[in-house]
C-alpha cells in the first residue's frame, strides 16, 4: 500500500481494503451465543449492523407444550418461543383410543391434544332388533 493510499484512508477519502481471510474470532449471535466462522470483513459488517446476519443454523433441542423433545434449528426455536413462527407441530405419533368410540388409532401428538379436549360422551353401542313385518 502506498503512502498516498494510507493518507487517503486516514482522511476518509478511501477505505481499508476488504480482508477476505477467515476472522480470528467468530461472529457470536447475541441471543443464543452460538458462533459462526466468517470472513474478516463480514465480522465487521455484522458487528456494525451494516449487513443482515444469517439466521443461526445450529441444531438444538426444543421442548414444546406436549413435552416431546424435537431437534430444530436454533432460529426456529427462538421464533417458536417468541410466537413469531407458525405453531410447532409435534411429529410424534401416539397410539390412543378415540374418545367417541374407543377404537384404537395412531394419531399425531397435535391431534391427540385436540382429541383430549373432547367434551362429548362415548357413543353407546346399540342392539338392533329387526322387526318382523309379515
Give the mean model confidence (pLDDT) for residues 16-36.
92
Q: Which residue did the predictor score with more confidence, 78 or 119?
A: 78
Residue 88 to residue 62: CA distance in whole angstroms:
10
The highest-confidence range among 7-11, 56-60, 78-82, by mean pLDDT, is 56-60
Q: Which DSSP helix (H) or strand (E) runs through 61?
A: strand 59-62
Judgement on whether residues 45 and 62 belong to the same structural domain of the protein: no
Task: Give the structural domain span for 80.
Answer: 55-88
pLDDT of residue 128: 47
With a cut of 90, say whether residue 61 has pLDDT above it. Answer: yes
Does residue 46 lie in a domain region? Answer: yes
Number of domains the chain contains: 3
Our CA angle for 31, 23, 3, nearest 5°, is 130
Does residue 128 lie in a domain region? Answer: no
Alpha-helix runs per DSSP H in the chain: 3-11, 40-48, 74-82, 109-116
Place of cell 426456529: 76
Does residue 38 lie in a domain region? Answer: yes
pTM across the whole model: 0.63
pLDDT cut 90: percent of the chain above it: 34
Amino acid at each position: 500500500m502506498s503512502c498516498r493510499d494510507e493518507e487517503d484512508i486516514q482522511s476518509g477519502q478511501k477505505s481499508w481494503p476488504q480482508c477476505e481471510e477467515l476472522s480470528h474470532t467468530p461472529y457470536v449471535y447475541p441471543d443464543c451465543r452460538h458462533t459462526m466462522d466468517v470472513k474478516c470483513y463480514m465480522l465487521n459488517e455484522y458487528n456494525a449492523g451494516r449487513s443482515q446476519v444469517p439466521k443461526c443454523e445450529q441444531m438444538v433441542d426444543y421442548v414444546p407444550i406436549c413435552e416431546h423433545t424435537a431437534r430444530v434449528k436454533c432460529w426456529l426455536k427462538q421464533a417458536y418461543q417468541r410466537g413469531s413462527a407458525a405453531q410447532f407441530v409435534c411429529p410424534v405419533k401416539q397410539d390412543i383410543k378415540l374418545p367417541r368410540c374407543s377404537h384404537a388409532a395412531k394419531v399425531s401428538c397435535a391431534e391427540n391434544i385436540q382429541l383430549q379436549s373432547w367434551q362429548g360422551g362415548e357413543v353407546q353401542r346399540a342392539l338392533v332388533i329387526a322387526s318382523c313385518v309379515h
